Amino acid sequence: MSTQQTNQNAHITFIGGGNMGRALISGLLANGFEANQLSVVEANASTGLQLHQDFGVQIIGALDQIAFDFSKNNVVVMAIKPQDFNVVAKSLSAKLKHATSLGPLILSIAAGIRLKDMSRWLDHERCVRAMPNTPALIGKGITGLFADATVNASDRALAETICNAVGQAVWVNEEKLMDAVTAVSGSGPAYVFAFLEAMQSSGEKLGLDAATARKLAYVTLEGATQLAHNSDEHAGVLRERVTSKGGTTTAALNTLKQLDWHGVLEKAIDAANQRGKAMGDELGKS
């Protein structure tokens, strides 16, 4: 079966209709999926009504109301909080069973939930772990993906298609690297926002009004990022090209170097990585 045929036969059920679920629904509809291929389990009536009005998707009020059509290639996207995963998974488990089917493909976007734990709670092995980030809300996200050898190429392609609907996706070949994905890209937008906050604040302290300082900071970051994206050169080479000996950029970078900003950022990202590991341990205890 071709990828197009697989997608046409897919039915995707979202457990949770929050911001990330909403972004994925919007992205899928913009990329060839039909509203009748999407369902959302959403206990909040007003949220469910809004999703139906905005996208025309089916709203299911509770887990026990799910009725899978096993003639379809079912996917369940676990778009819920990590601390809720255990209870929801155990409630969902019985719905996944079918005598002549492998059951749905599970795509979890819950941070920190490891494959062995989601498989244990769901009593189900057809699982993919994903870590998107918040730029997915505007179609500019990047998602890290991991699956073990039990997940075939067709399922991997379908999981990737879903994640690509809100940006791009990359696979890692060891699950422990999902903690690194979380530390670099999952938490990464916050580092960028902190950087923008500092740039704008610095501009204001130097006498610029807030609107001008904001625009200078934001557009500079956007332009520099696009320049780096469009170049095959390493970021270090690009940095050197705008750093004239004895100039203003050199003065600024020398200060950053003296403060070991590179080392500070590495330590910060490692702290996120270590916290990700600890979260996985904590969430998997039950």
CB-hemisphere CA count at 13 Å for 256? Answer: 11
CATH class of 3-176: alpha beta
Architecture of the domain made up of 188-272: Orthogonal Bundle (1.10)
Q: 255-266, pLDDT tens digit by residue?
A: 999 999 999 999
- pTM comes to 0.92
pLDDT of residue 102: 84
- The bridge status of strand 38-41 relative to strand 73-78 is unpaired
Domain boundaries, the chain: 3-176, 188-272
Query: In which band, very low, low, confident or very high, does the pLDDT at 8 lie, cut at 50, 70 and 90?
Result: confident
What burial letters (b/e) apply to 156-172, b meaning 16+ CB within 10 Å?
Answer: eebbbbbbebbbebeeb
pLDDT of residue 184: 98
pLDDT of residue 97: 86
Mean pLDDT score of the chain: 95
Task: Count the helix, strand and coil residues of the chain and give each as a percent rounded to the nearest 5.
Answer: 55, 15, 30
Q: 119-174, pLDDT tens digit by residue?
A: 999 999 999 999 999 999 999 999 999 999 999 999 999 999 999 999 999 999 99
User: Which tokens is 183 given?
Assistant: 């530390």
pLDDT of residue 101: 78
CA 160 centroid distance within chain: 12
Q: 9-44, pLDDT tens digit by residue?
A: 999 999 999 999 999 999 999 999 999 999 999 999
Contact 42, 59 (CB under 8 A): yes
Whole-number Å distance between alpha carbons of 264 and 273: 14
Whole-number Å distance between alpha carbons of 92 and 199: 47
Q: 237-257, pLDDT tens digit by residue?
A: 999 999 999 999 999 999 999
pLDDT of residue 285: 87
* Order of all β-strands in the sheet with 58-60: 58-60, 38-41, 10-15, 73-78, 105-108, 127-131, 141-146, 167-171
Query: In which band, very low, low, confident or very high, does the pLDDT at 3 lie, cut at 50, 70 and 90?
Result: low
Q: Which residues contact 146 (CB under 8 A, 6 or more apart)?
A: 115, 128, 129, 171, 172, 173, 174, 175, 177, 178
Q: 183-220, pLDDT tens digit by residue?
A: 999 999 999 999 999 999 999 999 999 999 999 999 99
pLDDT of residue 4: 61
